[in-house]
Structures are given as C-alpha cells and as structure tokens.
A and B are shown apart, each in its own frame.
Chain A
Amino acid sequence: MSEAKRSSSSVPEGAVAPGERESRLRAWARDRIGWDDLVHLAAKKRVPVHRYTIFYYLGGMALFLFLVQVATGILLLLYYRPSAAEAFESVQYMMADVPFGWLIRSIHSWGANLFVGVVFAHLISVFFLKAYGAPREMTWVTGTVLLFLALGFGFSGYLLPWNTLAFFATKVGTDVPAQIPGIGHLLSRILRGGSDVSGATLSRFYGIHVAILPAVTTLLLGAHLLLVQRHGMSVPRSVEGKSRRTIPFVPDFLMRDMVGWLAAVGLLAALAAFFPWELGVKADPFASAPAGIRPEWYFLWMFQGLKYLPSKIAGIPGETLGVLFFSILAAALVAVPWLDRRGKRGVAVAAVVVLVGAAVLTVLALLPVPSPAKP
C-alpha cells in the first residue's frame, strides 16, 4: 500500500512527503508525551452556550494577563537590582536607556492593575452565577486564594521601584498586620524584616514577588485549571433547563478567547504609550511622608475604611476591629460554598452590601485631598 502511494506521488525517491512528516512527528509525540490523549482531551472539552457565556471569557482573560505578567516580569528581572541603593536607579535606567524598557515596565504595571481587575470581575461573576456549588467547592477555594495571591503580587511589587509613594504606602500597609492582637507586631516585623520599612523590606518583598508568590500561584493555578477541566463549565440554574447547547473549546471558544486577548494587548500597548507608568521620586526614609499617599486602587477601600474607624470601639482599638473584620470577610469569601448551602439569598445580599460599601469607600478615597488652609 505504501509502495503504491509512494510511486503515485511526485515525491522524489528518498524524500519525505509533508503529510508523512507530520504523521511521523505526531507518532513521535504520541509515543513520548501522549499527544493523542491531549488532543482527545481538548476535543472532548465543550463550553455551554447561553446568555451568560460571556462571563466564561473572564477566566481565560485572567490567565492570559497572568502570563503577560510572567513574561514582562522575567524581562524586568534582567535589569532590576533589588537593593535600596540601586532599585530606583535600575528602574530609571530601564525607563530611559534600555530599548523598549519603558514599554515592558509600563505593560507590567498596567497589566498588574488589569489582572487584578479581571480576577475581581471573574470572582464576582462566578459568585453571582453561583458556580461554586457542589462539586465545584474546591475550584472556588483555589480561585479565592489565587485572588489573595494576586493582591499579594500587587502589594509586594508596589514597593520594588523604591519611590517615595511606594515607600510610605508600604509603611502604612505593613502597619496593618500590627493591629492583630498578640502576633501582630511579630507579623509586621517579619514582613518588614525589621522594625521599619528599609532595604531589608525591599529584599524580602523582592523574594516574595519573584519566587514565593509565583511558585505558590503556579501550583494553585494548576490545581484550579485541573478542577475546571475535571468538573467542566458550570451552567447557572436559571438557564440550566432551557438549553443544552455547547461548542467545542478548541477551536471555537479558544478563537473567541484570542479576540479578547488581542484586544487586551492593544489596550496595554495604548496605556503604555500614552500613559507610561510614572517612576516618581526616589524614596527617602528620613523624609516626612508626602501628602496624599495611598495604596493601589484595590486596597483603597480597606485603607479608607480603617481611616474612618474611631480610635476605640467598646474599649478595643478601632483598627484592630477593622483588621479583624477584613480577616473574617476573607475567611467568609473562601467559605462561600458552605455558607450558601441552603440556596438562600442572605449571602448574595451580604455580598452586594460589601461590594457597594467597598465601591463607596474607594470613591471617597479617590476624592482629592483638600489642601490645608494657609495661615
């Protein structure tokens, strides 16, 4: 049979036809990495089609932005120097002298914000579509922990350029754990690598940002994706009985995903070109804190909330109660699948209250600070 085929084709003797080369490659891959199983798995995966399908794209978008962060972060590592003496200057050098250094840094900074925003949106959509119900509890848990890790990336990365704003915002941020009774001060010291924010904090945050968090995130992300693959896409109850239409993940859904990813790349490029991420002024630990210091937008509601709390509530420091409240909120978020077992509306109502409260506090924190009256 193969002899007949070879004689009928125009391929010269000794040469390999393109189709045959492909089949040889596939055979090689099949024998070594089980390629056919992967193709089968991809072909088996299907995505439900209904009026909420658009929310399925948020997970893919978050994954894509995470990969952008990994790629740009690795490039930044080639020039960044993690010490109080050189960090600022190395970023300055990247922004001014390294070809396309400005682009990589700006994309990394803007990308971080988009990533956190998309992760939030993904979480909110999964929450309101109640996709955390059995058997997807662990998918939800890994997702919420991934959100906390994303916030950890944002917090640790904010200090790395070692500018005034980041320095003082980190000072405020690392003061927050100190409010926890008993172990608070120890936690704050561990975070800072000393009693105050210093070069030791920078080294520590660098290690957390480029080694510890990526390792933990990779493991959890793997688990999260595996669970999504294991349980398939959740269909909201409101549309469950109405339609059972699906499309294949590869290539139908993936191609649609890619449209979003290309748009995200365009948006990041535009932001980097028109609004390059500012570097500011080098941190001076001996200078007084400048007016209007504040953390990244996703921490603003907590920052503002702690500011509004009275110094004492029933004899307990207000900030301690605030930190306790945020800790309970985080624990409740992780435990949502178990808190919402009876399918009542209480959890959803509480979530709406928290979201509206957080939005109001964020807006209040973004309002311009009135300048002090001149004497």
Chain B
Amino acid sequence: MSSKLIYAVYDDPDVTVKAGQTVTDAGIKVNTVYSPFPVHGIDDAIKLPRTRISVAAFLFGAMGTSFAAWMTWYMLIYDWPMNVGGKPSFSFAENFPSFVPVMFELTILLGAHGMIWTFFFISGILPGAKNKNPDPRTTDDKFIIEIDPSKQAQKEDEIIGMLKDAGAIEINRGE
C-alpha cells in the first residue's frame, strides 16, 4: 500500500505529549515526534525505549583507563625504567600514584569522545548528512507527530480525527 505518512502539527509541547499518549493508548504506533527542543515525557508517551548510550561511554572510558595503565607500565616500567628525582620506576605498584593523573585524563578523553561519536553514528548525524525533519518549522516552534497509517489497525480518517481532537493545528501528508 502506498499511503502517505501523516504529519500532525502541534504548537505546544504539553499538548503534543497528550496527543502522543492518546494515540499510543489507542494502539497506534507513532513513528517519531519532531520537536525544536527535548520535550519531557514524550518518551513515555510514545513508548520509546530507554537509550543505552551511556553504556558506550562506560566501555570507552574503561578502554581509556586500561590503555593508560598499559602505556605507563610499558614505557616507564618495562621498556625504559628511569630513576627520576628519587621516584624509582621499579614496579607499577610503587610508581602508581604518578600514573593516576594520566590514567584519569585518558579515561575522560576516550569516554567523552567515544560517547560523542557513538551518538553521531547511531543517530545518523554527521557532516554532510541530510536532515529528515518534514517541515522546517520543527526546529523553530512546531511539534510534529509522524504516523504511518498503512501499519495501523485503525482507518486513516479515524487516526486523523484523533490527532485533530487532541489539538493538532494542521494535518499534512508526505512520503
């Protein structure tokens, strides 16, 4: 079926959340909601699963810590031990306090950048990527609920009626 997507336009975040809640409660699957700023409560309203992106931050951070621990051990303990200023490099444990700052910094460095780039890649936001918001006003002051009518049990008119009753100021159609 080649039915077009429904774009219900709202002009208030709270009305949008209520509308999203109403249609989701009726068993309609909302594709997504476009908004100019993070709308609190929309995730629950349209049953969006929680993001696990902080797991990426933890893994990258742990990678940073272990890399720094290996690097300081390899360079100053194993490969070329030096006695600098009475701080002998005989074992990693003895020299450990001096390595803490570098281990900390590399944890943050890898954790932060790893998380940022994970976010960019999985969200498809990269230099040169095309934006997918159906209406330029969604980055200004409008909120759009996107629904694919072909995938719902309800009839198109019924869905549109529900969205309008929930306060939509416009209903647009698009690919």
Asked if chains A and B come from one complex, the reply is no
Q: Please give the residue numbers on chain B whose beta carbons come within 8 Å of chain A beta carbons, in ascending order.
A: none
Q: Please give the residue numbers on chain A whose beta carbons come within 8 Å of chain B beta carbons, in ascending order.
A: none
